[in-house]
A and B are shown apart, each in its own frame.
Chain A
Amino acid sequence: MTYSHTTVWIIILAMALGSFLIRFSFLGFIGDRKMPDWVLRHLRYTPVAVLPGLVAPLVFWPDATGGHTDPSRLAAALVTLSVGYFGKNVLLAILSGAATLYGMLYLLG
């Protein structure tokens, strides 16, 4: 990446302030008033709406292999997803995914 240190600090401070305001929002400014249901209904889906889209290109077109789909990385992603979905355990899913990745990279050389 090609950011100056000033730009990096602008990013850090904007993220710090923005994250704080998001977290403080209702607790700080709204107090006891209730939020409209439609707002809550959309906010509920933010993690599952943002993170899969962020990850998808990295899984299908990884930079490390020049953008070509890589069987090791694809298998690791699938194993992580299955273990996380059925096991409901984040740490176990990460470990299974890492084991699959290293195992496949070793086998396929």
Chain B
Amino acid sequence: MEPSANPKTAFLRGARDALPFILVVGPFALLFGVVGTEAGLNLTEVMAFSVLVIAGASQFAALQVMSENAPTIIVILTALAVNLRMAMYSASLTPYLGKAPVWKRAMVAYFMVDQAYTLSQIKFEMEPEMGLSARFAYYLGTVAPIAPFWYAATYVGAVAGTQIPAEFALDFALPITFIAMIAPALRTMAHVAAAVTSIVVALLMAWMPYGTGLLVAALVAMVVGAQVELWQARRALKGAAP
């Protein structure tokens, strides 16, 4: 990999690395525009979601819970729970970008999406000699193709949305998208255990009002994931001992 010493090269490098992701982000944003409009949001509201919240999974989760007419606080809590992983991203970027001025850190926070985080984290780890401003430039470079595409595709979806007939079974676009996002993340036994727990508890707790069963399922699943990880680490340690 070529070094990305100065900010301009780093920015271009980031943009180039992120380019393939517009293939995922585009259809996803398009779908949000469509589903949001079908659910009864107006164009300004759909756009406000994509521009102000800028978190696909969380936006879809909000729409899903809203379609069940859940209380406002449940909608907000569920949507934010989906976004909690960003706290982990924030923590792991801190050693690399924590010394930047606060306005730059605020920009990093606003644009923190899965793809920008993943690319940057790998890049910073592989090139420890990279300067602070080059790191910031690389990060911005990764969002340069993604963010504008996210806004624009949402707009196109929202405008086209109401013209899509029911035969297209768009109700199932959301589950398919979520399953496709989660499946590659099932890397370890702990991840699989957390996912299975989440499914089982959510189905068992489906009688709870307004999707509160999901919050219970998520909490239990997080604990199960963490415990399985600890258990595996202990076992690996034992196996390594003479």
Contact = CB atoms under 8 A, between A and B. Distances in A.
Question: A interface, by DSSP: helix, strand, loop or mixed?
Answer: helix
Interface in B219-242: 219, 221-226, 229-230
Nearest to B26: A91
A53 B217 contact: yes
Interface stretch (B10-18, B108-116, B148-156): B108-116
A97 B98 CA distance: 41
Question: B interface, by DSSP: helix, strand, loop or mixed?
Answer: helix
B52 A16 contact: yes
A30 B90 CA distance: 10
B58 A19 contact: yes
Interface stretch (B1-9, B37-45, B119-127, B157-165): B37-45
Interface residues of B, number: 95
Given A5-B45, A84-B184, A101-B169, A94 B27 contact: yes
Contacts of B144: none
Contact-residue size bin, chain A (C-beta under 8 Å from the other chain):
35 or more
Contacts of B80: 15, 18-19, 22
A20 B82 contact: no
Nearest to B96: A27
Nearest to A85: B183
B222 A1 contact: no
A30 B94 contact: yes
B45 A9 contact: yes
Contact of B221 (A3, A48, A63): A48
B45 A54 contact: no
B206 A81 contact: no
B34 interface: no
A22 B83 contact: yes
A68 to B, nearest CB: 14
Contact of B222 (A2, A32, A45): A45
Q: Which of A43, A47, A57 has the largest number of chain B CB atoms within 10 A?
A: A47
A1 B37 CA distance: 12
Contact of A47 (B98, B185, B203): B185
A3 B213 CA distance: 22
A46 B179 contact: no
Given A19-B53, A24-B105, A77-B176, A53 B183 contact: no
B229 A41 contact: yes
Given A46-B85, A52-B182, A55-B178, A27 B93 contact: yes
A47 B81 CA distance: 9
B55 interface: yes
Q: Which of B79, B83, B180, B213 has the largest number of chain A CB atoms within 10 A?
A: B180
Interface of A: 1-3, 5, 7-16, 18-20, 22-28, 30-32, 35, 38, 40-64, 72-73, 76-77, 80-85, 87-91, 93-94, 97-98, 101-102, 105
Interface of B: 23-24, 27, 39-42, 45, 48-49, 52-55, 57-59, 61-62, 64, 66-67, 69, 72, 75-76, 78-91, 93-95, 97-99, 102, 105-106, 108-110, 112, 169, 171-186, 190-191, 194-199, 201-203, 206, 213-214, 217-219, 221-226, 229-230
